[in-house]
């Protein structure tokens, strides 16, 4: 369950995918919780050093707070997607300044993998 939540959070926040069920689960978390989950996952996947971990943690918290109105709002999916995409573009620009080229490429690859997993899970749910 914890692994699913990690995947869900990172996919939503990194890929700007907003799904009704995911939104409901995210509404029950704080920006601090979401930022911590993201930072812990990134520390492991990207092998961040202490300085990078601190900077990435601050970036994740900053943007988790900016994402809060999107997560909590009841607006339309397209509007939420656009808001989330804009926030994530800004976040990725900051992350690019902290991560090495190799780490950022790994980040992009992990993000794409999780995006594909989310698409697959959404497709499976629609078939049920």
User: pLDDT, tens digit, for every residue of 44-89?
Assistant: 999 999 999 999 999 999 999 999 988 888 778 888 889 999 999 9
Query: CB-based contacts of 67: which residues, under 8 Å, 6+ apart?
Result: 13, 31, 34, 84, 87
- According to DSSP, residue 49 is labeled -
- Residue 43 has φ and ψ, to the nearest 5°, of -60, -45
Tell me, what's the pLDDT at 35? Answer: 94
Q: Highest-confidence range of 10-14, 73-77, 81-85, 100-104, by mean pLDDT?
A: 100-104
Paired tokens of 101: 């080229």
For the CA atoms of the chain, what is the radius of gyration?
A: 14
Pairwise CA distance, residues 82 & 75, whole Å: 11
Domain ranges of the chain: 2-127
Q: Model-level pTM?
A: 0.75
More confident site: 21 or 114: 114
Pairwise CA distance, residues 15 & 98, whole Å: 19
């Amino acid at each position: 369950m914890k692994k699913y939540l990690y995947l869900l959070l990172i996919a939503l926040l990194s890929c700007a995918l907003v799904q009704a069920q995911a939104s409901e689960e995210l509404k029950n978390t704080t920006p601090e919780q979401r930022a911590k989950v993201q930072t812990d996952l990134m520390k492991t996947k990207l092998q961040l050093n202490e300085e990078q971990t601190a900077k990435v943690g601050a970036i994740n918290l900053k943007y988790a707070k900016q994402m809060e109105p999107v997560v909590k709002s009841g607006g339309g999916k397209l509007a939420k997607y656009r808001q989330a995409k804009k926030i994530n573009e800004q976040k990725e620009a900051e992350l690019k300044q902290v991560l090495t080229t190799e780490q950022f490429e790994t980040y992009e690859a992990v993000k794409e993998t999780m995006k594909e997993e989310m698409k697959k899970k959404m497709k499976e749910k629609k078939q049920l």
